[in-house]
């Protein structure tokens, strides 16, 4: 039996039952989870206070609409009487509510691995009753720790189905590797005589509903039947429903079965065997015979006050916003995205389909926030050292932090953000560069909240402004709450944490005990008007209340002040309360500080600094000014205003704030530097800050081993990471170093001394190892680092192409070449490109032997790629270790892959005719404009007998497995531009942007995710075609910048001396304008591109400050001045030869 469930049952005071490999536990509240063969079947968050996970049974009166749960969680009935009894082999819950006496008995089958939950209902009322019994459990089907670390990722591999003959739901996890132990979960009604099939559901979003909760799921708010959704549901649950009719005094029984097996047939056999009533009766007889009840108890729930109706409000308007879609739109200047929400008559917010989030960070501190105010705060490392929880639940979007107000006269309370306890009315949320703003206007009280981090200080500021427009004073209490983590997952460090109150500053302090972050001091404080009394608590159970939630915290009940409980607590938090009086017509400001420093003195200094009058406003202004100045270095104006919005700030902000600084977002919280990932991000920012690009190149070079391979990713500050057999990681160093040097003319980079790392080599058959490398006793020039990467990569297999190792760019193809024989066609194109750039660099460094070797290998690659890689109509993707081809017309799945076709063009290794044919094939098979997609490959991996890797574990159409992977889609657009397909490149580039996917409410309902940042992927197979995947934390943002600036608008920096401009825009465009300010601040350029002939084939004229300029190789040449002036440039496009459209050369001549 797995130790996780034993520990969790003990911590939750749950009653544990076990039989063979199957275990389950139930608490007195009805929470718990089940495990089989070391895997958690259902989800468990191990939250000791909210305690809201379990396999639940809901009851719904089909006539009155009343809903309650059989245990006190998750939906206690008002004034219900609950009880529990636990025996050696039996658990029992009871509930008497509204004339229905319900009892749940839980036992394990004596002869197999399943649990039975028998429900007995007795109608004690004088009227007939129709009661719907609905089961509900969220599926994990994974090791508990893996599921808890990244739930959204874990869910992508689970498929569900309904088996009509057995009347059972099945769920299984598609394996990521051949060695994974299979697990088939089964859920059915046991011992049932009813011949009608039950209702069923496996889609959590359809059952719970966005903006609803487990306390009242959307599926229980009406008498509508469950939808019967199964398959690739992305967020799986199991739910069955049966409606029972009870006459006065009558009783009825229903039994729910949950089990697991190693294969589908055995799982179905469990349901079939226990369909017989006698099997159920026998199981409970055996369980009852094992002993008497050893513990019991009762609880009477409190009556709940009805929610007052909200005022009728008109729908939010967005006439003043760009691209208003019913939820939000851009401000007129494009610098802020504004979301407008309002509550309905039940007080429920009309939320977007998924959380629309924002990432705010400086290089060492940051936070994530959603439109409801939920989020996560971190210090130093966004995964390894979270101050507050990262929940990764796009449906419920729980709050680990919150700010509240309580009216001390009425007792009413609400949150300052649209969650977790919104005041009825309208909200406006503004996401700008470096801040979030939440605003609500009300005749009684106007409130505004700004969340931001200062430019360099390690803390988050929540700056509150309250205005009382009424004619009477308001007595208010301001509460700030943060669940304390100081680690990766909540609870990991809880037993070691002690919260103290600093006698000098009054701040709450907690010493970090988390590995390399031990000794740092987390702190929280309120900056209030002088002499404002502040109450505190470090006990989350006090603040939330057992089985409470941030939506109804116990600490906010009328007349209650925080107790001052400090020291250690099983579930720690940082909570502060300030009582204040707001005079009629007055405005008051307060700031909540949450941060972490090296020591107590530094924490005190920050608290004192930000308590000074005007300090918060000054810090906000400084942050806004930094971002405006930095992002304004590049501004464009084209006939595609949605694309302009991305280039004029949002894509660059996404790249720097999220990718390079935060390294975290809602759907993925990495914390680490990826060798290939952040290198590409930094290269995209060369137009904003070349020094940033240079520093990143040197940082990554310092994470290379003496043998030439590199850390695939590493966690700062200690550089713990994984050594792998990935074949492409190391090559991004010379590739982007050459790009940087050619653009800036800074060839001194190659002379910089950089140390190496040393660590144990991977063992035979070992694909990767997480390790702590040590500094090697060897350093070398940056040039030598690049060459060691290249030297290690000059491999070839049976077809003369580079060995793929345990993956190339596509991480999910991690078993194509793991045995050392598989070859990558894409890697051949990539290496061909790099060698072409590096041969002259070797010459510059007096290294003729390498120059000759690289040139010879490049010629060899050109031949192998075109003789072996060509499939007849497009280029193949790879060969497996066993010699089977991947990405061929003859392949059963993944017959064509966009990556190889795009890089056949970008590398210029393909002859022009084949380059054209490869992109024609992409147009035919992978570009789907009706769906708004450029798929990575088709058809997806589903049933092929070959094992490409964990990509096959994804359900079809998700992420790399047949969806759009935007990173590669942008390379397709880049290739189209290189071939001069100007009528296709710009429209497809705009199609890849988020705005086009979110133009109206119907589009939002399909795409679901944020309209203002790039998504890493968009799903490509029904029923999820067009749905956005993971947003924010994607290298696609940087590549969109590069493709827009370099490939579409044609802008390049050359040798640090010139700008070159060779646009590839549609003939229908009248032109565009571009404003570029040199990062050095030396000069600015206002560039106007005109298209007077409605033909954009080539540059025909250029004027610089009124003087004729030069055209070279079809591009306008614009000198880089260093005079601090604004230079005006006009470029005219016109008719030219068709032959000048393409940038592709014949590889033999090249």
SS3 of 708-746: the string is: CCEEEEEECCCCEEEEECECCHHHHHHHHHHHHHHHHCC
Question: Look-up: residue for tokens 């060492």?
Answer: 364
What's the pLDDT score for residue 224? 95
Answer yes or no: is pLDDT of 1081 > 70: yes
What's the pLDDT score for residue 1138? 40
What does the alpha-carbon distance between residue 612 and residue 601 come to, in Å, rounded to a whole number? 17
Nearest Cα to Cα of residue 1097 among 1111, 1080, 1109, 1114: 1114
Length of the chain: 1150
What's the pLDDT score for residue 1137? 53
Mean pLDDT of 494-518: 96
Q: Which strands make up the sheet holding 401-407, listed edge to edge? A: 413-415, 401-407, 474-483, 572-582, 534-539
Find out whether 190 and 112 touch, Cβ atoms under 8 Å. Answer: no
Strands 587-597 and 459-467: antiparallel
What does the alpha-carbon distance between residue 179 and residue 368 come to, in Å, rounded to a whole number? 36
Phi then psi for residue 41, to 5 deg, are: -80, -45
How does pLDDT run across 427-441, given as a tens digit for each residue?
Answer: 999 999 999 999 998
Phi then psi for residue 331, to 5 deg, are: -65, 165
Find out whether 889 and 918 touch, Cβ atoms under 8 Å. Answer: no
User: Got the DSSP string for 193-257?
Assistant: ---SPPEEEEEHHHHH-TT-BTTB-GGGSSSPPP----SS-SSEEEEEEEEEEE-TT-EEEEEEE
What does the alpha-carbon distance between residue 30 and residue 28 come to, in Å, rounded to a whole number? 6
Mean pLDDT of 213-217: 96
What's the pLDDT score for residue 192? 84
Distance linking the first and last C-alpha atoms of the chain: 64
What's the pLDDT score for residue 307? 47
272: CB partners within 8 A, 6+ apart: 166
How does pLDDT run across 735-786, given as a tens digit for each residue?
Answer: 999 999 999 999 999 999 999 999 999 999 999 999 999 999 999 999 999 9
What's the pLDDT score for residue 1080? 75
What does the alpha-carbon distance between residue 129 and residue 219 come to, in Å, rounded to a whole number? 20
What's the pLDDT score for residue 312? 55
What's the pLDDT score for residue 647? 98
> 3-class DSSP state for residue 303?
coil
pLDDT category at 909 given cuts 50, 70, 90 is very high
Beta bridge partners of 1119: 1058
> 3-class DSSP state for residue 968?
helix
Give, in degrees to the nearest 5, the angle at Cα 248 between 244 and 253.
35
What's the pLDDT score for residue 667? 96
Mean pLDDT of 803-819: 95
How does pLDDT run across 634-651, given as a tens digit for each residue?
Answer: 999 999 999 999 999 999
How does pLDDT run across 974-1023, given as a tens digit for each residue?
Answer: 999 999 999 999 999 999 999 999 999 999 999 999 999 999 999 999 99
Answer yes or no: is pLDDT of 1145 > 50: no
What does the alpha-carbon distance between residue 48 and residue 52 come to, in Å, rounded to a whole number? 9
Domains of the chain: 3-300 (2.70.98.40), 328-629 (2.70.98.40), 663-793 (no CATH), 1049-1140 (2.60.420.10)
> 3-class DSSP state for residue 180?
coil
196: CB partners within 8 A, 6+ apart: none
What's the pLDDT score for residue 306? 44
Tokens standing for 690? Answer: 């070349």
What does the alpha-carbon distance between residue 104 and residue 100 come to, in Å, rounded to a whole number? 13
Q: What is the pTM of this model?
A: 0.96
What's the pLDDT score for residue 193? 80
Find out whether 1007 and 1026 touch, Cβ atoms under 8 Å. Answer: yes
**Among 93-97, 163-167, 291-295, which is the least confidently predicted range?**
291-295
% of the chain residues with pLDDT over 70: 97
Find out whether 475 and 408 touch, Cβ atoms under 8 Å. Answer: yes
CA gyration radius, the chain: 31
Tokens standing for 775? Answer: 């500094």
Find out whether 363 and 323 touch, Cβ atoms under 8 Å. Answer: no
Answer yes or no: is pLDDT of 1146 > 50: no
Answer yes or no: is pLDDT of 820 > 90: yes
- Residue 95: C-alpha distances to residues 88, 134, 1005 (Å): 21, 15, 39
What does the alpha-carbon distance between residue 953 and residue 158 come to, in Å, rounded to a whole number? 9
What's the pLDDT score for residue 1141? 44
How does pLDDT run across 1017-1073, given as a tens digit for each residue?
Answer: 999 999 999 999 999 999 999 999 999 999 999 999 999 999 999 999 999 999 999
What does the alpha-carbon distance between residue 213 and residue 395 come to, in Å, rounded to a whole number? 9
309: CB partners within 8 A, 6+ apart: 345
Mean pLDDT of 452-456: 98
Mean pLDDT of 619-645: 98
pLDDT category at 345 given cuts 50, 70, 90 is confident
Answer yes or no: is pLDDT of 1143 > 80: no
What's the pLDDT score for residue 443? 86
**In the chain, how many H helices and how many E strands?**
23, 61
What's the pLDDT score for residue 272? 96
Mean pLDDT of 90-114: 96
What's the chain's average pLDDT? 95
Mean pLDDT of 1122-1138: 88
984: CB partners within 8 A, 6+ apart: 923, 976
Answer yes or no: is pLDDT of 300 > 70: no
% of the chain residues with pLDDT over 90: 91
- Residue 248: C-alpha distances to residues 98, 123, 130, 804 (Å): 13, 6, 11, 71
What's the pLDDT score for residue 531? 86
How does pLDDT run across 163-187, given as a tens digit for each residue?
Answer: 999 999 999 999 888 888 999 999 9
What's the pLDDT score for residue 2? 65
Q: Is the dihedral of CA 637, 643, 645, 646 positive or negative?
A: negative
> 3-class DSSP state for residue 1059?
strand
What's the pLDDT score for residue 1? 44
Mean pLDDT of 498-505: 96
The beta-strand segments (E) located in 583-653 are 587-597, 634-637
Mean pLDDT of 466-495: 96
């Amino acid at each position: 039996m797995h130790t996780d469930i034993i520990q969790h049952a003990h911590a939750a005071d749950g009653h544990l039952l076990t039989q063979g490999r199957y275990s389950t536990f139930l608490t007195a509240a009805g929470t718990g989870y089940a495990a089989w063969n070391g895997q958690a079947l259902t989800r468990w968050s191990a939250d000791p206070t909210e305690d809201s996970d379990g396999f639940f049974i809901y009851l719904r009166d089909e006539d009155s609409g009343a809903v309650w749960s059989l245990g006190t969680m998750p939906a206690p009935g008002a004034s219900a009487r609950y009880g529990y009894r636990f025996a050696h082999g039996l658990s029992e819950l009871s509930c008497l509510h509204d004339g229905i006496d319900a009892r749940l008995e839980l036992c394990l089958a004596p002869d197999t691995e399943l649990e039975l939950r028998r429900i007995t209902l007795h109608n004690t009322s004088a009227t007939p009753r129709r009661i719907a019994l609905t089961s509900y459990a969220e599926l994990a089907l994974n090791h508990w720790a893996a599921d808890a670390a990244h739930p959204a990722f874990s869910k992508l591999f689970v498929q569900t189905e309904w088996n009509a003959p057995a009347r059972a739901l099945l769920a299984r996890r598609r394996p990521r590797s051949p060695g994974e132990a299979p697990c088939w979960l089964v859920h059915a009604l046991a011992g049932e005589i009813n011949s009608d099939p039950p209702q069923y559901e496996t889609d959590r979003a359809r059952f719970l509903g966005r903006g609803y909760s487990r306390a009242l799921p959307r599926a229980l708010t009406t008498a509508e039947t469950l939808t019967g959704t199964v398959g690739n549901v992305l967020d799986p649950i199991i739910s069955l429903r049966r409606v029972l009719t009870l006459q006065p005094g009558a009783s009825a029984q229903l039994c729910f079965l949950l089990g697991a097996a190693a294969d589908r047939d055995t799982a179905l056999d469990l349901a079939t065997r226990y369909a017989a009533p006698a099997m159920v009766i026998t199981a409970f007889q055996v369980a009852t015979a094992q002993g008497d009840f050893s513990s019991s108890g009762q609880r009477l729930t409190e009556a709940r006050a009805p929610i007052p109706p909200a005022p009728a409000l008109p729908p939010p308007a967005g006439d003043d916003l760009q691209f208003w879609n019913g939820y939000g739109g851009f401000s007129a200047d494009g610098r802020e995205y504004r979301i407008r929400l309002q509550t309905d008559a039940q007080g429920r917010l009309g939320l977007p389909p998924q959380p629309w989030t924002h990432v705010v960070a400086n290089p060492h501190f940051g936070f994530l926030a959603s439109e409801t105010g939920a989020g996560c705060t971190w210090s130093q490392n966004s995964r390894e050292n979270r101050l507050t929880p990262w929940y990764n639940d796009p449906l419920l979007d729980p709050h680990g932090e919150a700010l509240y107000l309580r009216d001390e006269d009425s007792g009413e309370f609400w949150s300052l953000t649209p969650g977790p306890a919104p005041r009825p009315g309208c909200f406006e949320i503004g996401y700008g560069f470096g801040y979030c703003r939440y605003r609500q206007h009300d005749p009684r009280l106007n409130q505004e909240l700004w969340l931001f981090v200062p430019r360099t200080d390690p803390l988050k500021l929540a700056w509150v402004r309250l205005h009382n427009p009424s004619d009477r004073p308001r007595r208010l209490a301001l509460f700030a709450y943060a669940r304390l983590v100081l680690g990766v997952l909540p609870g990991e460090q809880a037993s070691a944490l002690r919260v103290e109150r600093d006698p000098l500053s009054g701040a709450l302090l907690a010493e970090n005990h988390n590995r390399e972050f031990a000794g740092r001091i987390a702190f929280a404080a309120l900056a209030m008007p002088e002499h404002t009394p502040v109450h505190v608590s470090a006990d989350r159970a006090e603040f939330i209340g057992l089985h409470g939630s941030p939506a109804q915290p116990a600490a906010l009940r009328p007349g209650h002040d925080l107790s001052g409980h400090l020291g250690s607590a099983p579930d720690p938090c940082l909570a502060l309360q300030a009582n204040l009086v707001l005079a009629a017509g007055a405005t008051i400001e307060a700031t909540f500080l949450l941060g972490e420093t090296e020591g107590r003195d530094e924490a005190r200094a920050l608290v004192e600094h930000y308590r000074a009058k005007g300090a918060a406003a000054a810090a906000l202004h400084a942050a806004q000014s930094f971002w405006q100045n930095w992002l304004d270095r590049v501004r464009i104006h084209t006939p595609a205003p949605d694309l302009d919005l991305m280039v004029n700030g949002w894509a660059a902000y996404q790249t720097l704030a999220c990718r390079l600084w935060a390294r975290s977002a809602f759907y993925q919280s990495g914390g680490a530097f990826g060798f290939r990932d952040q290198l590409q991000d930094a290269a995209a920012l060369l137009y904003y800050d070349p020094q940033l690009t240079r520093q990143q190149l040197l940082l990554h070079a310092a994470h290379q081993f003496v043998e030439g391979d590199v850390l695939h990713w590493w966690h700062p500050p200690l550089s713990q990471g994984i050594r792998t057999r990935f074949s492409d990681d190391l090559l991004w160093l010379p590739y982007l170093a050459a790009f940087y040097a050619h653009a800036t003319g800074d060839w001194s980079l190659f002379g910089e001394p950089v140390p190496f790392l040393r660590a144990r080599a991977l063992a035979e058959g070992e694909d990767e190892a997480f390790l702590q490398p040590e500094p090697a006793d060897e350093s070398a020039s940056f040039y030598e680092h690049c060459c060691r990467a290249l030297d290690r990569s000059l491999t070839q297999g049976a077809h003369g192409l580079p060995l793929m190792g345990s993956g190339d760019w596509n991480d999910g193809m991690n078993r194509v070449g793991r045995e050392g024989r598989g070859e990558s066609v894409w890697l051949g194109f990539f290496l061909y490109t790099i060698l072409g750039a590096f041969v002259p660099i070797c010459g510059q460094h007096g290294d003729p032997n390498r120059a000759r070797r690289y040139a010879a290998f490049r010629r060899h690659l050109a031949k192998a790629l075109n003789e072996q890689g060509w499939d007849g109509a497009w280029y193949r993707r790879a060969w497996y270790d066993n010699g089977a081809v991947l990405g061929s017309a003859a392949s059963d799945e993944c017959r064509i892959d966009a990556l190889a076709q795009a890089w056949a063009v970008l590398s210029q290794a393909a002859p022009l005719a084949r380059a054209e044919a490869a992109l024609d094939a992409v147009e035919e098979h992978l570009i789907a404009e009706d769906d708004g997609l450029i798929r990575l490959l088709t058809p997806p991996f589903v049933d092929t007998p070959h094992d490409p890797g964990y990509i096959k574990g994804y359900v079809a159409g998700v992420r790399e497995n047949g969806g759009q992977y935007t990173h590669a889609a942008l390379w397709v657009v880049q290739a189209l531009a290189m071939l001069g397909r100007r009528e296709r490149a710009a429209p497809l580039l705009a199609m890849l942007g988020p705005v086009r996917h979110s133009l109206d409410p119907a589009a939002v309902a399909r795409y679901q995710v944020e309209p203002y940042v790039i998504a890493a992927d968009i799903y490509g197979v029904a029923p999820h075609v067009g749905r956005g995947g993971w947003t924010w934390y994607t290298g696609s943002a940087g590549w969109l910048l590069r493709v827009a600036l370099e490939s579409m608008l044609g802008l390049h920096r050359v040798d640090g001396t010139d700008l070159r401009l060779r646009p590839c825009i549609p003939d229908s465009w009248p032109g565009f304008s571009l404003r570029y300010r040199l990062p050095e601040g030396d000069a600015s350029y206002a560039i106007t591109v005109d298209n007077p002939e409605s033909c954009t084939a080539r540059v025909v004229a250029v004027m610089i400050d009124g003087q004729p300029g030069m055209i070279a190789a079809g591009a306008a040449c614009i000198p880089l001045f260093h005079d601090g002036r604004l230079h005006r440039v006009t470029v005219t496009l016109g008719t030219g030869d068709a032959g000048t459209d393409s940038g592709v050369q014949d590889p033999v001549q090249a």
